[in-house]
Amino acid sequence: MKIMFIQSTPPPSDLPGAPARVRFAELCAGYPGRQVLHRLTAEIPALATTALVGPNGSGKSTLLGVLAGVIRPTSGELSRDGTRPAFVPQRGAVGDALPLTVRQTVEMGRWGAGGLWRRLTRRDRLVVDSALDRLHIGDLAPRQLGELSGGQRQRTLIAQGLAQQSDLLLLDEPTTGLDLEAGERITALLTDLVADGVTIVQATHDLRAARSADACLLLREGALAGRGHPADVLTTSALAGLWTDAGHPSA
């Protein structure tokens, strides 16, 4: 898919030698009456993990929304070939009170393949089983979402994303609020998914997770404050400058 608003030169590569899964140039986007993203030019390398980092309100979720195709750019150029992206929302955005089991939650990932509430096919059920296994939550399948720990719920949401069988997985804060071990398990899992052919983009306040990514986009007030390898982007001085007034991310 390619949306063109303004012609501009292609952006340089964030991972030298790596093909891009998504490119955008001079991209502007936001909400009615409120522009949030200002002239972003970057690319998301294919078969790699990219971390979107920045203070609260810097536009990370909005950029994920643009990449997911649910927020339409107001100007600029966006090119995202390949399958429809799968979006994994913030854990907190999924209500505790929803009367859904883990399995039903993962099955919702198949709705896009054939519409709401349709009967699942045998193939759908196999895809769901495989996503549950991949996230090691097969034994939790009958449990209610509201009974799960933060890490278990996060794995359920990622399984729902995997069930969409997209080659582009967009995650909003997948490790934020988890303890060290649960966060590291999620990070390791995302790395494994890349080896399976998936391109990962995650918005995160978790600097450990961001530093283990292959590429990083640093946002400040909706503009790009840095892009490239996390070691080059997430420097002490860059972070100190960004978070002076905005509180600190988790180291």
Ligand X SMILES: Nc1ncnc2c1ncn2[C@@H]1O[C@H](COP(=O)(O)OP(=O)(O)OP(=O)(O)O)[C@@H](O)[C@H]1O
- The residue within the footprint of ligand X, chosen from 4, 56, 75, 118 (CB under 6 A), is 56
Sole binder of ligand X in the list 15, 22, 36, 189 (CB under 6 A): 36
Establish if 57 lies at the interface with ligand X (CB under 6 A).
yes
In this complex, which beta carbon is closest to ligand X, that of residue 92 or of residue 114?
92
Which of residues 41, 49, 50, 61 is near ligand X by CB under 6 A? 61
Q: Which is nearer to ligand X, 62 or 175 (CB)?
A: 62
Q: What is the strand order of the sheet 34-45 is part of?
A: 2-4, 75-79, 20-31, 34-45
What torsion do the CA atoms of 149, 191, 200, 202 make, to the nearest 10 degrees?
A: 50
Distance CA 27, CA 164 (A): 27
When the beta carbons of 67 and 145 are compared against ligand X, the nearer one is: 67
**Is 149 a residue that touches ligand X (CB under 6 A)?**
no
**Rounded-to-integer distance, Cα 211 and Cα 88, Å:** 20
Tell me if 58 contacts ligand X by CB under 6 A: yes
Q: Which stretch binds ligand X (CB under 6 A): 8-16, 58-66, 96-104, 108-116?
A: 58-66
Residue of 41, 49, 50, 62 that binds ligand X (CB under 6 A): 62
**Nearer of residues 24 and 124 to ligand X, judged by Cβ:** 24
Q: Taking CB under 6 A as the rule, does residue 27 contact ligand X?
A: no
Which range, of 53-61, 100-108, 112-120, 158-166, touches ligand X by CB under 6 A? 53-61
Contact between 174 and ligand X per CB under 6 A = no
Q: Per rule CB under 6 A, is residue 156 in the interface with ligand X?
A: no
Q: Which is nearer to ligand X, 57 or 82 (CB)?
A: 57
Query: What's the min distance (Å) between Cβ of 141 and ligand X?
Result: 30
Which parts of 197-226 interact with ligand X (CB under 6 A)?
A: 203
- Whole-number Cα distances in Å, 35 to 3, 60, 63, 74, 151: 18, 13, 12, 9, 34
Q: Which residues bind ligand X (CB under 6 A)?
A: 31, 34, 36, 54, 56-62, 203
